[in-house]
Structure 1
Amino acid sequence: MSIAIGGRMPTPERTTLHEIVAAGRDILEVSGPDGLTMQAVADRVGVKSPSLYKRVAGRDALLRLVSDATVVDLSERLHGATLHELARQLRDFAHERPHGFRLAFSADFSPELAAVASEPIVTVCRTLVPEEDVLDAARTVTAWASGFISMELAGAFRLGGDVESAFRYGVDALVAGLTRPPT
């Protein structure tokens, strides 16, 4: 956090875009999407709100930057993982950053960022299925994992039982289904 010198707030040059996005990601997790405002970020990084507009066009742009940074962070965590590890990392990330997870899975990305986001899952699926099935497998894995995790975060599993065990069962079933020879 920047410190005011002589009662003045730091100039925007002392606040980097990286610091603004990091502050936005932290605020998102504490205050939810409605709490992610330009004023909240300005307060966190120690500048006046109008100064942020020199780096970020507005709240929509801030949300996009936060979402993009979250996707890149998640993608980096998933590199080199097996399907079991990938699913676990995805779930752990969602529990660490539930609002970021929801934002990342609801955002419309550029084709370049979509490729970055999907690369770890596509890579894992290439180890499990023939090349012609990779995209279908990656979509299946993504849909199951994001659906399970979203339901878990929402408290939707109310029938009892062990959610951890159900998660492991689901991942095992995905692996078994993907590695089974086609009929």
Structure 2
Amino acid sequence: MTLAAVAARAGVAVPSLYKHVDGLPGVRREVTLRCVAELDAVVAAAADAASDADDDPRGRLRAVAHALRAWAHARPGRYQAVQDDWRGHPDAAALQAAAATLLGHLSALVAAVGVPPRRHVDAVRAVRAAVHGFVALELAGGFGLADDVDVSFDFLVDGLVGGLAATADPGVEPG
């Protein structure tokens, strides 16, 4: 992405962009902010839809994993933008807040499965790493065997959700 390409697509001169953004880093930051907000909406919608269909928190987490994968396939450039690291960047407060909201939704999902609070960060990282690793390999053409990739993704998600549920504190009912 270049400022010239953005300006051409918007039908404006490059100097005009500087009235609205702080150069190419500003454009990237704003694009990432919009992508994180869009992904958060996808996560929330998937969790809500699964909740309406069945009140099983494991089903909500499965639905969210599938929604993340579907969004990455439908919007690979946006998915890649979400992976950018803006931690500690002085001009990225809004982006950091949006990312915190998204992570909060994921944390609530793992909490509902029964993951104890002291392990929420670990569980969210596990979900992100598993889904992202699968999606990244898939988008790069890394699964060349004839076996159905959807079946493999279901296997991964079922194992992940089952493993997270197994961390539940004894006597605590997932909610």
Task: Identify the match of residue 49 of structure 1 among 14, 21, 29.
Answer: 14
C-alpha RMSD of matched pairs (Å): 1.8
Name the aligned partner's letter for residue 60 of structure 1: P
Contact 2:3–2:14 (CA<8 Å) still a contact in 1? Answer: yes
Q: Distance in 2 between matches of 1:154 and 1:181?
A: 32
Matching residue's letter, 2:126 = T
Which residue of the partner structure matches residue 156 of structure 2? 170
Unaligned runs of 5+ in 1: 1-35
SS at match of 1:79: helix
CA shift, 1:40, in A, is 2.0
Match of residue 108, structure 2, among 123, 127, 139 = 123
Structure 2 counterpart of 1:13: none
Change over 3 Å in CA distance of 1:137–1:45 after alignment to 2: same
Q: Report the 3-state secondary structure (helix = DSSP H, G, I; strand = E; otherwise coil) of the residue aligned with 1:159.
A: coil
Q: TM-score, normalised by structure 1?
A: 0.74
Match of 2:64 in 1: 86
List, as ranges, runs of 4+ consecutive aligned residues in structure 1 with deviation greater than 3 Å.
Answer: none
What is the number of residues matched between the two proteins? 148
Compared with structure 1, are the counterparts of its residues 54 and 134 closer, same or farther at alpha carbon in structure 2 (3 Å cutoff)? Answer: same
Q: 1:49 is aligned with what amino acid?
A: V
The correspondence of residues 85-164 of structure 1 with structure 2, limited to 5 A, is 85-109=63-87, 110=93, 111-128=96-113, 129-164=115-150
Bigger radius of gyration, 1 or 2?
1
Q: Is the alpha carbon distance of 1:45 and 1:181 closer, same or farther for their aligned partners in structure 2, counting shifts above 3 Å?
A: closer
Aligned to 2:37: 72
Cα distance in 1 for partners of 2:124, 2:106 equals 6
TM-score for both structures, normalised by structure 2? 0.77
Query: What is the match of residue 17 of structure 1?
Result: none
